[in-house]
């Protein structure tokens, strides 16, 4: 089905509240997940909610937890997420890092023990909207690793995202490079499995190390593995993400002892820079814009695919999905209903929320 983003948001907020979140938290989590869908990253959108619903009763995800400062010696900031919703604690920690960068020119945030922080670009975009440049290294554990080291045939790393966001002359159009260090995010394998579609060549290997396009290998035992992007380079960046985010914060690397709870723990190292301390921001923006335009001036190799800068595909998808609705496959919808039922929301209410008219849903959300 195609579902309006406001309906999605209402469904997610209702599920969060049923899971114990207060209204503010439910709105933040729902808003983050819907933005991921709107920006084309279904892997980090509404489809994550069934996993969160599974985490809640086991106490590995705790509602209504806020970021707790452990070390605050500018420019250094260590924050503990207390296994709360990552969308909440990571944004709170990001706001703290922005405030310190404003005061001191730069800040280095080490966030540990957040549950899944979702789409990392969200935090980069927030920094850019505050006029800051930011660089984010993220690792994940709490479950088996999914990515094989270069030349390996067994997983030893998570999909460890890297993000860098840079404000431009247009406040609505930052450059945002936000990417898993695996060829694709694990959630995209789940989306392909739910749609019954193969993944691209070169993305996956089965448990013997043989190449495959079958997403089911990541859901079988023994499990297959994702490949890091860019051969040894992506592998190297993934390892760096694990060490800078996990080991440095004390939140942990994806070592075997940290793989056991069937949850998602995200740790993040973020470096936030106030560019105004180095250069007149008008001059800097002009150079950034000129460079982006220079890249985009290259003649497309394929006339149907213009040259873009990072962040543009998400903005284009967002405009399209706001206008047309967000596609939601049947398997994901059934997973959501099953998860909602565990939280005390029945199928009839889920269907009613999905099909409510626009005005009703906006009120509910």
Q: Which residues bind ligand NAD (CB under 6 A)?
A: 41, 43-44, 116-121, 138, 140, 159, 161, 163, 176-180, 184-185, 188, 266, 308-311, 313-314
Q: Which is nearer to ligand NAD, 130 or 184 (CB)?
A: 184
Closest distance of CB 50 from ligand NAD, Å:
16
Closest distance of CB 358 from ligand NAD, Å:
28
Q: Which is nearer to ligand NAD, 5 or 116 (CB)?
A: 116
Residue count of the chain: 365
Indicate the SS3 state at residue 79.
strand
Report residue 152 as tokens: 């390996």
Closest distance of CB 301 from ligand NAD, Å:
11
Closest distance of CB 146 from ligand NAD, Å:
9
Closest distance of CB 16 from ligand NAD, Å:
18
Answer yes or no: are the C-beta atoms of 254 and 141 closer than 8 Å. Answer: yes
CB atoms under 10 Å from CB of 311, counted, come to 23
Taking CA 291 as the corner, what is the angle to CA 170 and CA 231, rounded to the nearest 5 degrees? Answer: 110
The closest alpha carbon to 230, from 202, 193, 189, 199, belongs to: 202
Contacts of 35 (CB under 8 A, 6+ apart): 119, 122, 318
Q: Which is nearer to ligand NAD, 6 or 122 (CB)?
A: 122
Report residue 164: phi and psi, to 5°.
-140, 125
Q: Which is nearer to ligand NAD, 21 or 43 (CB)?
A: 43
Q: Which is nearer to ligand NAD, 19 or 121 (CB)?
A: 121
Closest distance of CB 311 from ligand NAD, Å:
5
Q: Which is nearer to ligand NAD, 25 or 314 (CB)?
A: 314
Closest distance of CB 352 from ligand NAD, Å:
31
What's the rounded Cα separation, in Å, for the pair 263 and 142? 5
Taking CA 23 as the corner, what is the angle to CA 22 and CA 29, rounded to the nearest 5 degrees? Answer: 90
Closest distance of CB 154 from ligand NAD, Å:
19
User: In the 8-state DSSP scheme, what is residue 272?
Assistant: E
How far is residue 317 from each of residues 40, 58, 199, 300, measured CA to CA in Å?
6, 36, 20, 20
Q: What is the largest CA-CA distance in the chain?
A: 57
Closest distance of CB 199 from ligand NAD, Å:
11
Answer yes or no: are the C-beta atoms of 85 and 29 closer than 8 Å. Answer: yes
Q: Which is nearer to ligand NAD, 43 or 194 (CB)?
A: 43
Buried b / exposed e over 156-180, threshold 16 CB at 10 Å, is bbbbbbbbbbbbbeeeebbbbebbb
Taking CA 110 as the corner, what is the angle to CA 137 and CA 49, rounded to the nearest 5 degrees? Answer: 65
Q: Which is nearer to ligand NAD, 292 or 353 (CB)?
A: 292
Taking CA 114 as the corner, what is the angle to CA 69 and CA 243, rounded to the nearest 5 degrees? Answer: 90
Q: Which is nearer to ligand NAD, 132 or 268 (CB)?
A: 268
């Amino acid at each position: 089905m195609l579902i309006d983003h406001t309906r999605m948001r209402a469904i997610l907020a209702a599920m969060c509240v049923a899971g114990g979140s207060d209204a503010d938290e439910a709105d933040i989590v729902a808003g983050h997940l819907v933005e991921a869908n709107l920006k084309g990253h279904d892997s980090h959108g509404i489809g994550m909610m069934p996993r969160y619903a599974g985490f809640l009763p086991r106490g590995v995800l705790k509602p209504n937890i806020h970021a707790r400062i452990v070390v605050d010696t500018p420019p250094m900031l260590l924050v503990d997420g207390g296994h709360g919703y990552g969308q909440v604690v990571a944004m709170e920690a990001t706001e703290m890092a922005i405030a310190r960068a404003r005061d001191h020119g730069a800040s280095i945030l080490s966030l540990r023990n957040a549950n899944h922080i979702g789409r990392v670009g969200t935090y980069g975009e927030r920094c850019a909207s505050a006029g800051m440049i930011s660089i984010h290294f993220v690792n994940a554990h709490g479950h088996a690793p999914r990515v094989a080291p270069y030349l390996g045939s067994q997983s030893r790393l998570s999909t460890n995202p890297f993000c860098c966001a840079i404000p431009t002359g247009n406040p609505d159009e930052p450059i945002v490079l936000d990417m898993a260090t695996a060829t694709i995010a694990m959630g995209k394998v789940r989306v392909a499995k739910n749609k019954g579609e193969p993944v691209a060549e070169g993305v996956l290997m089965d448990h013997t190390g043989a190449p495959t396009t079958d997403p089911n290998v990541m859901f079988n035992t023994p499990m297959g593995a994702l490949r890091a992007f860019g051969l040894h380079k992506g592998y190297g960046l993934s390892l760096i993400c694990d060490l800078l985010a996990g080991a440095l914060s004390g939140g942990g690397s994806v070592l075997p002892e940290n793989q056991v709870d069937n949850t998602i723990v995200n740790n993040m190292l973020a470096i936030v820079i106030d560019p105004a301390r180095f250069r007149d921001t008008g001059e800097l923006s002009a150079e950034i814009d000129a460079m982006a335009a220079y890249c985009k001036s290259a003649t497309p190799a394929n006339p149907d695919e213009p040259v873009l800068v990072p962040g543009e595909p998400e903005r284009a998808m967002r405009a399209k999905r706001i206008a047309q609705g967000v596609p939601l496959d049947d398997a994901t919808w059934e997973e959501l209903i099953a998860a909602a039922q565990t939280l005390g929301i029945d199928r009839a209410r889920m269907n009613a929320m999905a099909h409510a008219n626009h005005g009703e849903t906006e009120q509910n959300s």
